[in-house]
Amino acid sequence: MEKYSEYKDSGVAWLDQIPKNWQFRRVKDLTKIISKGTTPSTEGEAYTNTGVRFVKAQNVNSNGKVVSKPFFFISKETNEILKRSQLEANDLLLVIAGATTGKIAVIEESQLPANTNQAVCFLRLKNEEKKESLRYKYYYINCSCFQSLIWLYAVTSAQPNLPMAILGRIDFCYPPLKEQTKIANYLDVKTTAIDKKVNLLQQKIKQYKAYRKTLINETVTKGLDKTVKLKDSGINWIGEIPEHWEVKRLKDVSKIFTGNSISDKSLFEINKDAYNYIATKDINIHTKEVNYDNGVYIPKTDKSFKVTKKNTSLICLEGASAGKKLTFVDREVAFVNKLCAIKSFDKNVFDKYIFYSLQTDLFNSQFFELLSGLIGGVSLGLLKYFNILVPAINEQQQIADYLDTKTSNIDKIVNNIETQITTLKELRKTLINEVVTGKVKVSA
């Protein structure tokens, strides 16, 4: 892409030079209204199942749309009380508080009436500029330069929070109105094309992950020999299994125990003659990989901590990750009390086969049927009675080796696709940033 013929010093350190005919104005000078919403004081009375759409940070999507899920509504009476934050079509909604600070979307006519809470502010452009420059301003606020300023000025506390006064004083760089439209149209085409590619790649990832899950399930419950005779397992959720396989309980083939919690991690920071300490957060829910080097170590002299041997499956029994986070450790480790170790003591049961068994529909149907409690969990006492299919030991090893190879190949493919997605998203950011700051010129 070509450059502009002449540039001038912007006077702003982070922006450097801009095209000679471009201008600067503060955000508040470009808007008719800049305001943020309010959360109704009494949730039980104010929130309803239908009525006026109530936009929260969760509804401001990264694709520039206000999405309907999750649904939030307030009554018409509450909407009248909250007049200051009633939205209009083409208001630019910007998240100014919380983990998604900086996300921006445009509210559409079909989504009205609508209101918003204090985590979301709205910028209402002046009438004479609204229609023609809306998309350009959306892209400018979305560019990495503007986003970096938002995060720079967000008050650092438990959660980011951008003061309205500071937002209003941030400088806004823009070309003449006709060129704004040209830039916005160009970016609409380019970003849409990139987004379509990203979406297709994301669908591929879903397909590969679904195939991975099906592959494990079919192999662990039916075996590698598709010609073998089957028999009724006698258990509804298992169905037929190879006739020479057995159904056993976990407690009959493995040692099962939970770990220890730590109240003060600063007391366990020395990595000398120590075990790695694994917490639930150290396990990747998708790849099943574990981060051993998390900075927490248990001295081998401290006998108060439970330790499991290498080649042990660890699975989360409690909380949002219950039954979902699991891993297979390649060394002796200590671990948190929310994790459960499952280690075979039967010479006829292969540990890696157990690991794959924990990823089947057979295991999940038992686990999630019993999931209960305020924070969600399955007790150790119940887990011990879960059923597991047990073929001959050599067949278990063959199944584990086969799945090691197959899942490793699938994971490599998924990782490659994820890299492509990251590259495309970075290209999208760079393209927006260079065009809306005048580094390159849109000529067509």
Q: Does residue 42 fall inside a structural domain?
A: yes
In tens, the pLDDT along 397-422 reads 999 999 999 999 999 999 999 999 99
Among 152, 172, 192, give the residue marking a domain's end. Answer: 172
Domain extent for 331: 246-390
Among 172, 204, 224, give the residue marking a domain's end. Answer: 172
Q: Does residue 223 fall inside a structural domain?
A: no
Confidence of residue 225 (pLDDT cuts 50, 70, 90): very high
Do 261 and 126 lie in a common domain?
A: no
In tens, the pLDDT along 227-282 reads 999 998 887 777 889 999 999 999 999 999 999 999 888 889 898 999 999 999 99
Pick the most confident of 44-48, 341-345, 437-441.
341-345
Nearest to 314 by CA among 276, 287, 347, 354: 354
Q: Does residue 279 fall inside a structural domain?
A: yes
Q: Does residue 7 fall inside a structural domain?
A: no
Do 30 and 168 lie in a common domain?
A: yes
Domain count along the chain: 2
Residue 340, helix vs strand vs coil: strand
pTM comes to 0.82
| 271-to-52, 296, 329 alpha-carbon distances in Å | 57, 8, 18
Mean pLDDT for the stretch of residues 191-220:
96
Do 253 and 121 lie in a common domain?
A: no
In tens, the pLDDT along 326-369 reads 999 999 999 999 999 999 999 999 999 999 999 999 899 899 88
Do 162 and 251 lie in a common domain?
A: no
Do 33 and 157 lie in a common domain?
A: yes
Amino acid at 190: K
Do 273 and 137 lie in a common domain?
A: no
| 336-to-15, 255, 281 alpha-carbon distances in Å | 48, 17, 10
Q: Does residue 204 fall inside a structural domain?
A: no
Burial of 292 (0-12, 13-18, 19+ CB in 10 A): middle
Q: Does residue 284 fall inside a structural domain?
A: yes
CATH number, domain containing residue 300: 3.90.220.20
Cα 272 from chain centroid (whole Å): 35
pLDDT value, residue 374: 59
Q: Does residue 127 fall inside a structural domain?
A: yes
Residue 192 CB contacts under 8 Å (≥ 6 apart), including other chains: none
Of residues 395 and 137, the one with the higher pLDDT is 395
Among 138, 172, 206, give the residue marking a domain's end. Answer: 172
Mean pLDDT for the stretch of residues 40-63:
78
Do 157 and 262 lie in a common domain?
A: no
Q: ∠ at Cα 36 (32, 37), nearest 5°?
A: 125
Do 81 and 166 lie in a common domain?
A: yes
Q: Does residue 202 fall inside a structural domain?
A: no
